[in-house]
Structure 1
Amino acid sequence: MKKMFFLPLMALLNSSLIYSQSGNIGINTSDPGSKLTVNGSFAATYKTTGASGPVDANDYYIAYTGNSNGTLTLPAAVSGSGNFIGRTYHFKNTGTATLSIAASGTELIDNQSGAGVASVSVPPGYYAFFISKGTVTDTTWELILLSSSSSLPAAASTYAFSTISTTTRQSLPATASGPFINAEINYPQGTVINTGNVMNTANGRFTAATSGYYMFYGSTQFDNGALAGAPNFAWAILYLVKNFSTTPNNVLVQSYQSNPGILVGTNVSCITYLNAGETVSMASAAAVTSGTTYQVVVSSFYGYKIAN
């Protein structure tokens, strides 16, 4: 008898918290204004993993704790019955390596770059939010948000970044007639930041890891004060050059100084599109009033990707 009384009582208490009105359902509210209104907290599955694997229908929020690169693969699209348009997944990389969120098979992810991608990289400390578009071919998922949990972007972001400087004097051959580029400026004192090892300090070349738009800024000081006789510059030019190793005359931008004496500082900057593997470096040319050599010192150069 006690059981028969207890069960109907519990059902009555529980049902008193759920309401229906005009096709809307409310939990803990008698006046739901949306299809589902919850007057209270909401909870979904929280999962941690340190290894690659599939994301399934029971997942919602996944924290990746791995110390080596891993890939979590989104569910394959479903046509017709069972299509899960609008399903969302949240990912947080709490590990120390790169997490990749990949679409299934030949499916793609719309990351607002103009073309779908097979996967999205989530660096350590970053969060990614995805939603199913309901489509079954091409871009079946949409990246809603990719952001850092820090107030500042992590240094190891998906966009390559490098900044370098040197106070070492570099001797370069002067131009006898007509301005042309003789050599790239290098940086024997190394890099301050070099995400993805995109900068080669020996030859001064920044190599694009992926295709996209890049911002570059460089500066140097033309200084003949340490050379015998301290010759004056007849002129001095600082360049940013694309693919110097194959086309050293492929100048992106230049700064020309006429009769600057024995000392002059100058800078150059530009935004350019690079295909993966293409390079940008800073180079110079100068003519002197005597001798065959000029020097640059206190040089700095940085580059970073700003968009796909």
Structure 2
Amino acid sequence: MKTKNFISISLLLGLFVNAQVGIKTTTPNSTLAVAGSMGADYKQITTTTYNITATDHYITYDGAANATFTLPVIGTGTASYTGRIYKIKNISASGITLQASSGNTLRIDNTPVASFVIPTGAYAEVVNNSNTTGGTWDLSFTVLPKPSNVEIYGIQLTIPPHANGTAPIADWVSHANPAYDSGTGTDAWWIISKASTTFAHTAGYSNASRMMLVYEFQGTPFNVNNMYPILTAGNNSSFPDIFTASFVSLANVSGKTRLTVSVSRIDFIGSNGANNSNWTGTFLLNLLLARKLY
């Protein structure tokens, strides 16, 4: 019996001296080595006010309104919680205000804060530290909400001079004038055709000068299903011209995406001596393509 007790005590002392424990492994390489999966407490919350407990670990919120989660009060000894980690996932359509208890704070950077908002679809991880003068909880990791269900592409195209301007540029078809193309390589946009309509200014009515422009994307054609073009005309020249751009059509033609736009000059209709509303300069067309993914 004495020998057996001696062996048992020796094994126990060896365990504490080595300070390494293995679960399903005989060669632990850390203080605790687990050769297998691990589990911890999981809880899904729907109430809008929740006090996080000492036994919580992973918390999911799926309530119907904005919620407030409060971290435990930090104490001493077994209530010091140093190193304790909480994982919080927001799967609701509302926000979670994560706040420290009275007398405690969150530390996002060097400036402690009282609370942090976890938006819809986001994930946050906080860990308790031993800091007694700054934040007592570190916001150690955050993941932003899942990507938007909108895919966006943008480019700046050119609006060429009018065919009836003071210094006219003739209209064309079949990409006969590449001087006004935009972009390079597979991100290039060609102006396939340009059709100008001059102003009409009579005693009975006035029509603005306008052009019908067909742009063609030279890269892989876009998926134009559920795609919505947003157009704005710009002016970075010394001319005072003001334009409006109207969407006409967006379609894939012969393996290329084609955008048809009508551009009108809206600040001036008619003529004033040598000046007229058929524009001469080259201007900008800002294009944003937004496609709804689901």
Scaled by the length of structure 1, the TM-score of the pair is 0.45
Bigger Rg over Cα: 2
Structure scoring higher RCO (CA < 8 A, sep ≥ 6) equals 1
Higher strand proportion: 1
Scaled by the length of structure 2, the TM-score of the pair is 0.46
